């Protein structure tokens, strides 16, 4: 645009100096547009996020799946000092609701367990055996009876007693006594019938039984504890 | 019911240290107590005494331990507690000196 006669080096330099701010602004505008185009091309795909981070932080930055852990993906390769900027970048482009965590190559994380407590487990009964049967015989009663066991205090023998119950409570009481060893308890009852001894119950300390001209006996087990 | 040692000790404190450039970050080392109450996901565990912690059955202990690790991993943004545990300082280890059978 400048006439040839005026195109002297000093004049040209002067005009360029006048125009320098405009050139600078144009250059910055071009860079800004380029940056906008670049950012708008970024998506939430893993490959794009990796490219974004690699371009920004100049490293071998990878993204791996969370594999069922507490976050959806891990970002590997970001320096600890860059964590805040990287965090903001990822939050801008990742899908909403996706969580992530950084694995910083320059950060050493250690875990140490301390203050140990001794593990304890209950003592288990290795075996249990039936022994020392106690026979209880009843003759005559045509009553409803309650047989009950009174173990007594620890370390002392208990006893078994039969008491009248029901409509025949005014009848004769036949009392049965048998000692049991401390720590033991009756838990197996049999009744004597025409067919011999039959298993009756294993209800433990108390037994309701209909007894008519027959016999009842009880066994107890003694378990070392 | 009587209880006996199994020769194993169960640790109750987990210490996390994060170091950069040879120095611990501010706030570290940080300790977590497995006896305290914590929640991870849908699972909540209440406070437990030392004695009850010692007496937990193996399955219940492993369940609490697993959830506690997830809880700390989540709180500290750690991928795997197991991967960063210093050898010799595991949560569950034999110690016949402290816990004679």
Domain edges within chain B: 10-91
The string of pLDDT tens digits covering residues B2-36 is 788 888 899 999 999 998 888 888 898 999 999 99
Chain B residues near residue A70 by CB distance under 8 angstroms: 70, 73-74
The string of pLDDT tens digits covering residues A52-111 is 888 888 878 888 887 666 778 888 888 888 888 888 888 888 888 888 888 888 888 899
In a domain, A118, yes or no: no
pLDDT the model gives residue B62: 92
pLDDT the model gives residue A154: 40
Chain B residues near residue A225 by CB distance under 8 angstroms: 2
pLDDT bin (cut points 50, 70, 90) of residue A130 is: low
In a domain, A149, yes or no: yes
Q: What is the CATH number of the domain that holds A94?
A: 3.30.300
In a domain, A20, yes or no: no
Tell whether A67 is within 8 A of chain B (Cβ): no
In a domain, A123, yes or no: no
DSSP state of A94: S
Residue A176: is its pLDDT beyond 50? no
How many domains does chain A contain in total? 2
Q: Which residue of B has its CA nearest to A115?
A: B11
Residue A112: is its pLDDT beyond 50? yes
Same domain, A134 and A212: yes
In a domain, A192, yes or no: yes
Residue A25 burial (10 A CB sphere; 0-12, 13-18, 19+): exposed
pLDDT the model gives residue A27: 92
In a domain, A114, yes or no: no
Same domain, A98 and A137: no
Q: Do B17 and A112 touch (CB under 8 A)?
A: yes
Same domain, A98 and A153: no
Can you read off the two tokens belonging to residue A134? 């106690």
Q: What is the mean pLDDT of residues A140-160?
A: 39
In a domain, A62, yes or no: yes
Same domain, A146 and A195: yes
Torsions phi, psi of B85, nearest 5?
A: -70, 130
DSSP state of A213: S
pLDDT bin (cut points 50, 70, 90) of residue A205 is: very low
Nearest to A206 by CA among A191, A181, A186: A186
Q: Is the dihedral of CA B90, B91, B94, B95 positive or negative?
A: positive
Can you read off the two tokens belonging to residue A49? 């996020």
Can you read off the two tokens belonging to residue A160? 């078994």
Instruction: Please tell me the distance in Å from B69's CA to the nearest CA on chain A.
Output: 11
pLDDT bin (cut points 50, 70, 90) of residue A185 is: very low
Same domain, A142 and A87: no
* Cβ–Cβ < 8 Å for A103, A75: yes
In a domain, A15, yes or no: no
Nearest to B34 by CA among A18, A152, A62, A117: A117
Tell whether A71 is within 8 A of chain B (Cβ): yes
The string of pLDDT tens digits covering residues B31-67 is 999 999 999 888 899 999 998 999 888 899 999 999 9
- SS3 assignment for A10-67: HHHHHHHHHHHHHHHHHHHHHHHHHHHHHHHHCCCCHHHHHHHHHHHHCCCCEEEECC
pLDDT the model gives residue A24: 92
- pTM for the structure as a whole: 0.56
DSSP state of A4: G
Secondary structure of chain B: what % helix, strand, coil (to 5)? Answer: 30, 35, 40
What are the start-end ranges of the E strands in chain A?
62-65, 73-76, 100-103, 107-122, 130-136, 144-150, 159-165, 185-193, 196-201, 206-210, 215-221
Q: Do B6 and A115 touch (CB under 8 A)?
A: no
Q: Which residue of A has its CA nearest to B97?
A: A118
Chain B residues near residue A101 by CB distance under 8 angstroms: 77-79
What are the beta bridge partners of residue A134? A218
* Cβ–Cβ < 8 Å for B48, B10: no
Which residue segment(s) compose the domain that A177 sits in?
130-221
What contacts 24+ positions apart, CB below 8 Å, involve A188-192? A188/A130, A188/A218, A188/A219, A188/A220, A188/A221, A189/A216, A189/A217, A189/A218, A189/A219, A190/A216, A190/A217, A190/A218, A190/A219, A191/A215, A191/A216, A192/A216, A192/A217
Same domain, A136 and A194: yes
pLDDT bin (cut points 50, 70, 90) of residue A30 is: very high
Instruction: Please tell me the distance in Å from A121's CA to the nearest CA on chain B.
Output: 5
Residue A146: is its pLDDT beyond 80? no
pLDDT the model gives residue B36: 93
Chain A residues near residue B84 by CB distance under 8 angstroms: 109-111
Q: Do B73 and A102 touch (CB under 8 A)?
A: no
Q: Do B77 and A101 touch (CB under 8 A)?
A: yes
pLDDT the model gives residue A190: 52
Q: Do A117 and B17 touch (CB under 8 A)?
A: no
Q: Do A109 and B16 touch (CB under 8 A)?
A: yes
């Amino acid at each position: 645009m400048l006439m040839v006669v005026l195109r002297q080096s000093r004049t040209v330099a002067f005009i360029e100096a006048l125009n320098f701010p405009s050139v600078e602004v144009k250059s910055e505008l071009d860079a800004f547009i380029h940056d906008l185009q670049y950012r708008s091309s970024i998506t939430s795909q893993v490959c794009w996020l990796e490219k974004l981070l690699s371009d920004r932080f100049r490293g071998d930055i990878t993204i791996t799946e969370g594999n069922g852990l507490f976050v959806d993906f891990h970002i590997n390769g970001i320096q600890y000092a860059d964590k805040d900027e990287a965090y903001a970048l990822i939050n801008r482009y990742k899908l909403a609701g996706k969580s992530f965590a950084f694995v910083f190559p320059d950060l050493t994380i250690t875990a140490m367990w301390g203050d140990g407590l001794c593990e304890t487990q209950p003592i288990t009964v290795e075996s249990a055996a039936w022994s020392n049967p106690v026979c209880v015989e009843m003759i005559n009663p045509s009553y409803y009876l309650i047989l009950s066991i009174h173990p007594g205090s620890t370390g002392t023998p208990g006893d078994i007693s039969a008491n009248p119950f029901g409509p025949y409570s005014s009848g004769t009481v036949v009392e049965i006594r048998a000692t049991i060893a401390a720590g033991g308890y009756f838990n197996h009852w049999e009744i004597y019938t025409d067919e011999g001894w039959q298993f009756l119950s294993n209800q433990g300390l108390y037994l309701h039984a209909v007894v008519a001209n027959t016999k009842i006996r009880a066994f107890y087990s003694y378990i070392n504890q | 019911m009587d209880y006996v040692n199994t020769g194993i000790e169960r640790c109750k404190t987990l210490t996390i240290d994060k170091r950069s450039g040879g120095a611990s970050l501010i706030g570290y080392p940080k300790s977590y107590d497995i006896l305290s109450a914590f929640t991870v996901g849908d699972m909540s565990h209440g406070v437990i005494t030392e004695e009850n912690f010692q007496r937990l059955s193996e399955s219940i202990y492993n369940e609490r331990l697993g959830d506690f690790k997830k809880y700390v991993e989540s709180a500290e943004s750690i991928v795997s507690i197991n991967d960063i545990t210093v050898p010799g300082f595991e949560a569950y280890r034999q110690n016949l000196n402290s816990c004679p059978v």
